[in-house]
Amino acid sequence: MANESVLSGFFVPERANAALAYELQDSLGVLNGLAGTPGSDAPIVVGPLPGEQKGQYFTQARFDKMASLVTRRDLTSFSAATLVQMTTDSEKAPVVNLKMGPVLLPEKTLWMAGASDAEVEMNFVKQCADQFRSSLQSHVIAAIKGSTAAFIAGAGGEGYGYDHAYSVWDNSTPVYLSPVALSGGRSEMGDRLDKINSMFTRSECFSDMVNTQAAYTSSGSWGENVARGQNPATLGLPYAIVDSSHLKTDAVASSSTLSKWYTYLMSSGMVQVEIVNLWFSPPARDNSLEQPSDYLRGDADVVIRIKGMNYASTANPSESTLATAGSWGIKTNDHKEFGIVRIETNSAAT
């Protein structure tokens, strides 16, 4: 057949889909180590969401907080009972649509490379998996950044005694990430500081913390052990290091203001990620080119839900949209239900 692809025998979408799913299970960049299945203690949960997809959004039902639900019962009163209304609401999460390719693969490339069917298929799949992980990681961090900024800006009044923002950043003197700063950040959870069970930060901040601890030698050999590779003090919190642009705000060039570097503390299940669609299309033949070629393409749809926050911006958001505080609104009834804290520090690498 004139339109039959030369790859019809050695790029099989079903086989490529299975290979991509296997590659993605191996790791998810910074999500690796902080991600887990539903029901685990991981701060980032990857798996089916309990809500419902409606177009380009995922909605989940929730109940509003009932004021004065529990009060003192008066045995001497004969008045009618005061009714408390139970109301429902919904929480919305965005669906991010991603594509892999399209990639043009000329027949001449195959001939010159002497590639076998497995080499073509697996090389394409592996590159898709690597870049998909990177893109997904960046979108998740952007959503954490934007939703946390929205919570910090909107937290106030009864039930929101803490805004989950802790800063030791200084305009002129570097104040590095430290166990003291981590402790101060964790205290932003109030009497539920025990809910914080992980952290992620940039390598510059982590290196500053390690170097500071390595130089500390006034108590036994602890600093010496850190210098030799012992894990630094992080309050026992598992950590992930990722050099995302969303974890730094550059200084304004016309001023002396130093950059701000962000570290996030998180509790279990605060971010829920579901890959709702992930597939490759059959190779598409293009005989209009001088060299006969095939197009390869994959598509993915991913839900990113931040527990207790409502997405309130455009469909299929970009990273910059997800990272904007105005794209999110508070839905949680109490600050203790929002288990993310942002710490601002300086870094030596400003």
Does the pLDDT at position 330 exceed 50?
yes
Q: Do 155 and 162 meet the contact criterion of CB atoms below 8 Å apart?
A: yes
Instruction: Retrieve residue 277's tokens.
Output: 């669609």
pLDDT for 3 equals 41
CA dist 333 and 158 (Å) reads: 10
pLDDT confidence bin for 9, thresholds 50/70/90: low
What is the chain's mean pLDDT, rounded?
84
Query: Rounded to the nearest 10 degrees, what angle do helices 13-26 and 117-154 cross at?
Result: 50
User: pLDDT tens-digit profile of 271-280?
Assistant: 999 888 888 8
Q: Which residues contact 252 (CB under 8 A, 6 or more apart)?
A: none
Q: Which pLDDT does position 251 carry in this prediction?
A: 76
Q: Which residues, in sequence order, are bridge partners of residue 92?
A: 59
Q: Is 243 exposed, middle or buried (0-12, 13-18, 19+ CB in 10 A)?
A: exposed
Q: Considering the entire predicted model, what is its pTM?
A: 0.87
pLDDT band at 172 (very low <50, low <70, confident <90, very high): confident
Task: Judge whether 32 and 42 are in contact, CB under 8 Å.
Answer: no
Q: What is the pLDDT of residues 238-272, one digit of tens each?
A: 899 989 999 998 877 666 678 899 999 999 999 99
| Higher-confidence position of 103 and 233 | 103
> pLDDT tens digit string along 145-167?
999 999 999 887 656 889 999 99
Please provide the size of the chain in residues.
Answer: 350
Handedness of CA 27, 136, 109, 111 (dihedral sign): positive
